[in-house]
Structure 1
Amino acid sequence: MYPILFSFGSIHFYSYGLMIAIGILVAYYLAEKKIKANGIDPKRLEWLVFSILAGGFAGSKILYWITRIPDIGTDPTIFTNLGDGWVVYGGIIGGLVAGWFYCQNHGMNFWKTFDMVIPEVALAQGFGRIGCFLAGCCYGVETHAWYAVVFPEESLAPAGISLFPSQLVMSAYDFGLYFFLEWFSKKKKFNGEVGAAYLIAYSFGRFVIEFFRGDMIRGVVNGLSTSQYIAIATFIAGIAIIVIGRKRFSQSNK
């Protein structure tokens, strides 16, 4: 709705960037409290977050490039435009890989750390989706329902068309997922179970919301989007972690 909040000459301050920043700061503040409560040096969190963000942004952009391979020949700016063109799943995968490498190189238990910070990742995503709504990206399909939204000319979404508010629905889902994971973290049986629950729940929500997305520039194969295929894979991975982890937990308690 408001891609540019305000400007100073040629310098623009974007609503999407602001919401991403708010999400990261709030998530970091809450994660830091957990880290301290578990007796871990907060400086470890600073570098872990930096690694995750670097890996996340890189993964998000790389996956976007992959989904746009057919269009690169006619639009080479796909490689040079850093203002938009991000895929959340690429960010999740890239962030997890970078976080795993950091934990491996600094003697940290990846699965335990994963469980501690993953609820805050869902929280940050909730703020990020509000940024998507303000910018007009990740817009929904056309609908004439009472809850439809209409974007102005300067938005990334098609202007003047009643669209499904997919960004706000996913934002609400992410915020709800944060509270669920915080609750579930108090009941987990093994390290990695909260992270697995995130993979399962987020994948389910993302798979469903994709049917209501109107920005199919990312590609559709056999009726499913790129993100839906990834959602299936991450959903299965989450189930596998739960099954293996609980089996090992049961064996260790016999």
Structure 2
Amino acid sequence: MYNDIFAIGPVEIHGYGLMIAIGVFCALWVAAKRAKNNLDVNVVYDLTFIVLIFGFIGAKLLYILVEIETMIKDPMQILSGSGFVVYGGILSGLLAAILYCKKKKISFLKYFDLLIPSVAIAQGFGRIGCFLAGCCYGSETDSFIGIAFEHSEIAPNGVKLIPTQLFSSAGDFLIAFILIMYAKKGRSDGKVGALYLILYSIGRFIIEFYRDDYRGFIGYLSTSQFISVITLIIGIVMFFKLTKRWINHEFENRLHR
């Protein structure tokens, strides 16, 4: 639980950044390997770069909105810190990917299905980075699963907290595994991505009950829970609409045989 891993001269290697770098590398490797079957690997590289850039921007912007009061009082604390809101990155990354695919006149849904398991992998490593940094921490607990931070500049030190970061990480890796297995059989374009929206939204909604860092609220729901409800509905509608389209397509094919 040390964010400062080691230093080489004046350069310090932080756990949060290191985990993000490892996550991006693993995610890109998995996506490129899966793309070799029937999709353009160069497009995968382009989309990865675009999603990363706009994802970080979107995650930071949503964090600024959530912490707007602190932003007004002390802008440098927000701008120079490691605070991000994942949903901001997901939404802005998706929008950037849609615009890129539209410009290139290629199927967004095909590449969405290809890249989304890699997104879950990157998120899994990112949450380990959150654990090392002490951000996104859980509420106090007397349970045996509780972990006490001793050197965190973000999480409360010396008290046992629910390791929500590690639970989130395990959930992200599990989602990635499920999606990759699900994608092995022929699926309608977009169904893998829709399944991600469903699984991630449910997991994020639940884990929010156990987090204790301020994330902003809309009514009784945290900002992330409110967004989770929206993305869950979108995912369910997409999944069943694409399923219906696939059934109709199969029915038409059988009629013409």
- Cα separation, 2, equivalents of 1:25 and 1:241: 29
Aligned residue identity for 1:44: V
- Cα separation, 2, equivalents of 1:24 and 1:110: 20
Query: 2:64 — aligned with what?
Result: 65
* Counterpart contact for 2:205–2:225, Cα < 8 Å: yes
Secondary structure at 1:44's aligned position in 2? helix
Whether 1:221 aligns to 2:218 is yes
Secondary structure at 1:37's aligned position in 2? coil
What's the Cα RMSD here?
Answer: 1.4
Unpaired stretches in structure 1, ≥5 consecutive residues: none
Unpaired stretches in structure 2, ≥5 consecutive residues: 252-257
Instruction: Name the % identity.
Output: 47
Query: 1:31 — aligned with what?
Result: 31
Query: 1:102 — aligned with what?
Result: 100
- 1:104-253 equivalent positions in 2, closer than 5 A: 104-187=102-185, 189-216=187-214, 218-253=215-250
Report how far residue 106 of structure 1 moved. 1.5
* Counterpart contact for 2:44–2:111, Cα < 8 Å: no
Query: 2:20 — aligned with what?
Result: 20
CA deviation profile, 1:8-39 (whole Å, cap 9, x unmatched): 4543210010010101101111110111111x
* Counterpart contact for 1:149–1:163, Cα < 8 Å: yes
Aligned residue identity for 1:92: I
Larger deviation, residues 227-236 vs 241-250:
241-250
Secondary structure at 2:13's aligned position in 1? strand
Aligned residue identity for 2:101: C
* Counterpart contact for 1:103–1:110, Cα < 8 Å: yes
* Counterpart contact for 1:3–1:155, Cα < 8 Å: no
- Cα separation, 2, equivalents of 1:116 and 1:230: 23
Report how far residue 76 of structure 1 moved. 2.2
- Cα separation, 1, equivalents of 2:220 and 2:77: 24
Report how far residue 78 of structure 1 moved. 4.5
- Cα separation, 1, equivalents of 2:33 and 2:105: 20
* Counterpart contact for 2:109–2:189, Cα < 8 Å: yes
Secondary structure at 1:253's aligned position in 2? helix
Report how far residue 188 of structure 1 moved. 5.1
Report how far residue 41 of structure 1 moved. 3.2
Larger deviation, residues 148-157 vs 14-23:
148-157
